Amino acid sequence: MSSTTAKSPDASRRSERSRKAILQASMELVGEVGYPKLTIEAIAARAGVGKQTIYRWWSSKAAVLLDAFTEVVHDENAEGSAGGLPDTGDIEADLKYVLRATADEFSDASFEAPYRALAVAAAADPELADQFVSRLREPGVRVYTERLRAGQEAGQIDPDLDLDLAVELLLGPFQQRWLNRTGPLTHEFTDGLVELAMRALAPRGAPR
């Protein structure tokens, strides 16, 4: 597998405009045609740049897409509190807020379609899965782990918990509903999921 490290784009405004157009075009196109049929040629045409401009900065379509999604995730985190989940002091309320927002995001086709295309491609391809997990999933999971750790310090989360497993318990059912289409991503679902998971995550002996 070729490296996914983007070559550092020229800092000039024109380069930056091209870079953003390429990332945007890759997201749009993968949602329209799926990952297997996505080509660098089509991305270049949609972005209004030459193929060589893309190859100068990225080694493959996977590298372009992973940068595109990483940027979306980065922009979202930048909107939150210092790149993490909100911390109002009430972890159950904070998790409900975030999962409701995530459900809303997944009901937006301009995000959902490309993300699904990439997730499907990663499920079929172990090498893409490696990159998908390390570039996109792990940073996304880390903000939950950190929020749960703060919850441990505040006495709202069991101090002995395996936080990685705790995040899987919280996010796995959401992911499964979404990817396998086993049910709708309503706020009723996400609220119920947080309430049920919190029964497992709260300190033993805490009222529940």
Q: How many Cα neighbours within 13 Å face the side chain of 191?
A: 4
Q: Which CB sits closer to a second copy, 181 or 187?
A: 181
Residues 28-67 binding a second copy (CB under 8 A) are: 34, 36
Residue from 93, 109, 133, 154 touching a second copy (CB under 8 A): that is 133
Q: If binding means CB under 8 A, how many residues of this protein chain bind a second copy?
A: 42
Q: Is 177 in the site for a second copy (CB under 8 A)?
A: yes
| 156 vs 203: CA distance, rounded Å | 7
Candidates 107, 96, 123; CA nearest to 188 is 96
Return the SS3 of 81.
strand
Q: Is 139 in the site for a second copy (CB under 8 A)?
A: no
Q: Which CB sits closer to a second copy, 104 or 130?
A: 130
> Virtual CA dihedral for 52, 54, 60, 65, nearest 10 degrees?
-160
Return the SS3 of 84.
strand
Structural contact between residues 156 and 91, judged by C-beta atoms closer than 8 angstroms = yes
Q: How far is the CB of 33 from a second copy (least distance, A)?
A: 12
Q: Which CB sits closer to a second copy, 6 or 112?
A: 112
Helix axes 109-124, 61-79, angle to 10 degrees: 130
Q: Which CB sits closer to a second copy, 155 or 183?
A: 183
Q: Which CB sits closer to a second copy, 65 or 161?
A: 161
Q: Is 168 in the site for a second copy (CB under 8 A)?
A: yes
At residue 185, φ and ψ (nearest 5 deg) are -90, 70
Structural contact between residues 36 and 124, judged by C-beta atoms closer than 8 angstroms = no
Candidates 137, 109, 127; CA nearest to 117 is 109
Q: Is 89 in the site for a second copy (CB under 8 A)?
A: no
Q: Which CB sits closer to a second copy, 10 or 162?
A: 162
Residue from 89, 175, 186, 187 touching a second copy (CB under 8 A): that is 175
Q: Is 113 in the site for a second copy (CB under 8 A)?
A: no
Residue ranges in contact with a second copy by CB under 8 A: 34, 36, 116-117, 119-120, 122-124, 126, 129-130, 132-133, 137, 161-162, 165-166, 168-169, 171-177, 179-183, 189, 192-193, 196-197, 199-200, 204, 208
